Amino acid sequence: MRAQRIDLPDGRVVIGVTSTVACAARTVKRVCRAIAAGELVAGRSTVYAIEVVVANEDRKDPEAIVATVMDALDATALPAERCTVSLCRRGGGDVHRTVVPGPAGACEDASLLGLHPEIAARIGLARLGGFVLERLAAADDVYCFRGRSRAVPEDERLFVLAEVRGRTSDEADDAAVHIAGFERLFHQATSALRALRSACDPRRRLHWNRITIVVGPAVALDASALEEIAQRLAPATRHLGLEKVVVRLRLRDRVRRTTAEPVELVVSDLTGSRMEIAMRQPETAPLEPATDYERKVVEARRRGHVYPYEIVRMVAGGNGAGPAATFEEYDLDPESDEPRAVCVADRPHGQNAAAAVFGIVSTPTDKVPEGMRRVLILSDPTRGMGALAAPECDRIVAAVDLAERLGLPVEWIPISSGARIAMDSGTENLDATARVARRIITFTERGGVIHLIVYGVNVGAQSYWDALATMIGHTRGTLIMTPDASMVLTGRAALEASGGVAAEDEVAIGGFERIMGPNGEAQYYSGDLAAAVRTLNEHYRYTYVVPGEAIRPLETSRCVPTRRSMATGLRPWAISSTMPRTRVASGRSPCGPSCRRSSTRTGATSSAGAHGLALRRRSCGTRTSAGRRSA
């Protein structure tokens, strides 16, 4: 037997030996006796650990090999805190089993789940002690686990831990090598997570998952390089249900030849608007189960929606999407008989009692440095799919009243299955939705503006409201839709059940591509909710008027031939996602009796100027119906 001794910097001693499968038990016995006799470490009869590397070329059962080692240790006292048996074979991953002393003799440490103790310590496996873990198959240096919280059984998610190995060097090329190794391992981790989620039932795919990568060698990177790497790798994290990606590393100063203490980079994108990168000290405390708020976020994600308070974070720019903004939440006054809004800014997020959330959001801009204020109305899809009853309708009416009182526009991002119909309520909810419809009409007739972003299914009363707020001739609000958005009076399943004519889904019935876009009912088309928010912010650049400022819109006139053919008169900008639609209002034009005056909204993107120039070349002018704040 040939043993090797390793002295660690903290004074601990590790003894390592090699063996074959047949001689594993005998080798362990001899090592234990030699240590106890002081033959391997002078003056000491115990060591920190015994490492036994076994060449398992015949692919024998690891459990049988460990059982023989445990029998040998029962006969001979273990003179170490642990004995790790590592089974190695060509073309396959290593298998590690750790035996520790127990009250009834030697026993295997099941908490390591087949990991080497040093690997488990480096990747932070101990932080997952609050979860019942099941190890899943993965590539080398990638360790996948399915975890269920012991305290909250509903909290179930996937953890992917990985380790980048290498040595620290000041060579210029070494940083590029380590970055390449990190990116390779990152793609392996995301691929493993994607495969595990795909194997689950589509209705129960896990969310709030986490990827943790530990980079062993110190690397020389600055903040801009870290952000560039994160942006380059971001597409690989889509549709993984991620809570965050945590990267633990040590940053190297190549000039001073110093290495900083380990730090953790936390990359998250909860709203889909933009990545948020934060740096913190390494966390060592056990990972807590998901809070009630986080479970609501997960529930909304499972349905393909965004939790309302995460939309607040997106709109307010708290996820890195823009300048810091504020959101002041309001709710109904419990002491008032009529729907009246009161500030509840001190209430924690997620404590809403209805499927409607509203408040005032203020975003500083170059033109409005004091803050571009508007009333924000959101739907909570985790409460009955945003079904509308009296509590929701009262809050919407109170929000519109608040906007009218303060002279602010309304920004509305709805998700709703329509009026709530249940065994204990029905017609009174229809009456409540009628009150909202009346309030929308009176608000817009008095000059109020309601902007809508539709990013999901809107059914029944909600679709009526959307149309009343943006499609009537006197309204000035804009309607922005995404590829998954639809506005329908009756869903596909109900139409088919009643024998009516339906389509393949709600988007085909009332989506932008087939209906709302070609008909000119929606003004903008955005790729997702985050892009829609950016589009609306750009729209505000040209249309937002600060309350109390007497600024008249830029007025011109435009001639539209009354006999223009709709088939040949359409222009490319008429269906562009970057140009507004044109509404024609009857009335005499100064250009002649055969001309009508149109009301055209100002553009909201950088390319709108070119489109507008082409528009003016084809006509005698435009009349802008929305106010514009001068630069």
Q: Name the more confident of 591 and 183.
A: 183
Query: How much is the pLDDT for 467?
Result: 95
Burial 23-35 (b: 16+ CB within 10 A, else e): ebbebbbbbbebb
Kindly report, residue by residue over 320-333, the tens digit of the pLDDT: 445 578 999 999 99
Closest of 233, 225, 255 to residue 188, by C-alpha: 233
Domain ranges of the chain: 3-108, 119-290, 302-543, 560-624
Query: How much is the pLDDT for 124?
Result: 94
Query: How much is the pLDDT for 225?
Result: 87
Contact 482, 528 (CB under 8 A): yes
Kindly report, residue by residue over 330-378, the tens digit of the pLDDT: 999 999 989 999 999 999 999 999 999 999 999 998 888 889 999 999 9
Contacts of 124 (CB under 8 A, 6+ apart): 161, 212, 214, 248, 284
Closest of 13, 70, 74, 19 to residue 47, by C-alpha: 13
Kindly report, residue by residue over 75-122, the tens digit of the pLDDT: 678 899 999 999 888 777 788 999 998 887 788 898 999 999 999 999
Query: Tokens in use for 390?
Result: 């009296």
State the burial class of residue 255 (Cβ atoms within 10 Å of its Cβ: 0-12, 13-18, 19+).
exposed
For residue 519, is pLDDT > 60? yes
Kindly report, residue by residue over 27-36, the tens digit of the pLDDT: 999 999 899 8
Cα–Cα distance, 353 to 345 (Å, whole number): 15
Kindly report, residue by residue over 182-212, the tens digit of the pLDDT: 999 999 999 999 999 988 877 778 889 999 9
What is the chain's mean pLDDT, rounded? 83
CATH superfamily of 302-543: 2-enoyl-CoA Hydratase; Chain A, domain 1 (3.90.226.10)
Per DSSP (E only), the strands in 137-227 are: 142-149, 156-164, 209-215
